Structure 1
């Protein structure tokens, strides 16, 4: 059981009615709170919850239409995303209770200050290295317009400007990170066919691929609902078409790819996880056609080449700069 869920269950009488659990972990909390429903924006957690509690969880970027009397927000990593989620929930809960739960090291005490616009918050519990805060919504805001919260910027590329749209919570929100910028400089000579942008974020790589290789099918995949929505908005802003899908890691990707291009993620909340990236390297061959390529950027300190060579083939370093390396490998 996730420690944040354990904190809630220390006072189960508070959560006995129609309850929305926003950003809930994939544990047994829905089973322990039978009148609750879940709202997830993590495809992996959503799939696990659906398998155990079919029909009781929604995967979306907006609160579900299901009526609820109380809501609990599990603190996400991003301050901007926290702000959007609190506004979205408070808008549905006039004069009702809203809870915030999170780990201390994730900054839950700081995040609790973001409750102030909606009423007076109080700390109810502190245990399992977590805190639980309660707020009665006395100042219910209008429902936020997520599209208006998007940050937009133009990315100057050799083949023209690319409009990027980024929603709160998406990696490198409102800007291009250095690793992705380096990778964009090393996308020449990809084989024709299906191109996969793994961990697409705001859609920078996928949109660039579609612009550069208009005759190729481009598929963009991310575990996060806000990233999926951002990528679709980026494509629309540039008049481009590609398939954008939600999936938990490379197992959610199609097969027979001509190339997999990625700035693979290795953060989940406040924790560092290399599982998704390492699984990509181990299983890329099963999603590539013969002769297909893997091309990715990674921090130079990560020991990816031996893993790539063990599971795919020879790994070449195309460039090393600013603490990053661009790797290329080809399936035999």
Structure 2
């Protein structure tokens, strides 16, 4: 059981009846709270929850419909995303409690101050390196407009400006990160055919690929519903069409790809998490056609070339700058 769930269950009498668990972990909490429902924006967690608790967890950027007697938010990493989620939950809880639970090192004490907009926050428990807070929603706020919270910025690329739209919680929200900036400079001479932007975020790479290779089918894959919504907005803003895939990792990708292009993530929440990136390197060959290419950007300190060469083929370094390297290998 996730330690945050354990803290909730120390106060189990508070969480009986119709309850919404927002951002819940993929543990047995829904089993212990049989009348609770889940709201997830993480495709990996949602896949596990749907398999074990069919019909009881909702994957989306919008709060699921329902008349809930209370709601719990499992603290996300982003402050902006926390603001959106708290407002979304509070908008449906007039006269009812809203709870916030999270790890101390994840900033739960700071985040608890965000509850003050809705009432006087109270700390209910502290255990398992986590804290549980609550607030009574006396006056529900308006339902937040997620699209209105988007940040838009323009990139001046060789083939013209690209408008990028990012939503709260998405990697490098409102800006272009250094790794993606370097990768954008090295997207020439990719094989023709089906192209995949793995870990698409706000869709910077995927949109650029579609514009540069208009005859290619382009797919954008991410684990996060807010990232996919951002990518959809970025594509639409630039008049582009591509396929969006909610996936747990490279295992969710199509086969017979001409190229996989990626700025792969290695952080999940407050933790360093390499599994998705390492799975990409070890399993890319299964999704690439013969002659297909894996091209990615990574921090220079990450020892990716040996993994790439063991599982795919000779690894070339195409560029290096600002602590990042561009790697390329063909099946």
Aligning the two structures, in what range does the TM-score lie when normalised by the shorter sequence?
A: over 0.9
Aligned to 1:97: 97
Equivalent-residue separation in structure 2 for 1:266 and 1:43 (angstroms): 16
Deviation at 1:276, TM superposition (A): 0.2
Residue equivalent to 1:266: 266
Unpaired runs of 5+ residues, structure 1, are: none
User: Is 1:142 the counterpart of 2:134 in the alignment?
Assistant: no
Deviations 1:190-231 (A, max 9, x none): 010000000000000000000000000000000000000000
Deviation at 1:139, TM superposition (A): 3.0
Question: In the TM superposition, what are the counterparts of 1:5-16 in structure 2 within 5 Å?
Answer: 5-16=5-16
2: CA distance, partners of 1:151 / 1:305? 35
Please give the secondary structure, in 2, of the residue aligned with 1:328. strand
Aligned to 2:294: 294
C-alpha distance in 1, partners of 2:257/2:184?
19
What residue is the counterpart of 2:253 in the other structure? 253
> What's the TM-score, normalizing by structure 1?
0.99
Residues 102, 130 of structure 1: 8 Å contact kept: yes
Q: Root-mean-square deviation (CA), in Å?
A: 0.5
**Alpha carbons 1:282, 1:307 under 8 Å: kept:** yes
Q: In structure 1, what is the equivalent of residue 68 of structure 2?
A: 68
Give the SS at the match of 1:67.
coil
1:3 — aligned with what?
3
Distance in structure 2 (CA, Å) of the matches to 1:120 and 1:31: 31
Aligned mates of 1:245, 1:191 — CA distance in 2: 21
In structure 2, the partner of 1:215 is 215
Aligned position for 1:172: 172
1:40-51 aligned at under 5 Å gives the runs 40-51=40-51
2:19 aligns with 19
Distance 1:188 1:117 in 2: 49
Instruction: Give the match for residue 122 of structure 1.
Output: 122
Post-superposition offset of 1:95: 1.1
2:116 counterpart SS class: helix
SS of the equivalent of 1:140 reads: coil
Residue matched to 2:318: 318
Pairwise CA distance, 1:147: 0.2
Q: Is the 8 A contact 1:117 1:139 kept in 2?
A: no
Could you say which residue in structure 1 is the equivalent of 2:80? 80
Specify the SS of the correspondent of 2:161: strand
- Looking at structure 2, the residues matched to 66 and 265 of structure 1 have their Cα atoms a distance apart, in angstroms, of 34
> Which residue pairs with 1:303 in the alignment?
303
Q: 2:283, 2:260 → 1: CA distance?
A: 11
What does residue 38 of structure 1 align with? Answer: 38
Q: Which runs of 4+ in 1 moved over 6 A?
A: none
Give the C-alpha shift of residue 140 in structure 1.
1.4
| Aligned match of 1:239 | 239
| Count of aligned pairs | 331
SS at match of 2:316: strand
Counterparts of residues 181-200 of structure 1 (less than 5 Å): 181-200=181-200
> Please, which runs of 5 or more residues in structure 2 have no aligned partner?
none
SS of residue matched to 2:30:
helix
Stretch deviating more after TM superposition (39-48 or 132-141)? 132-141
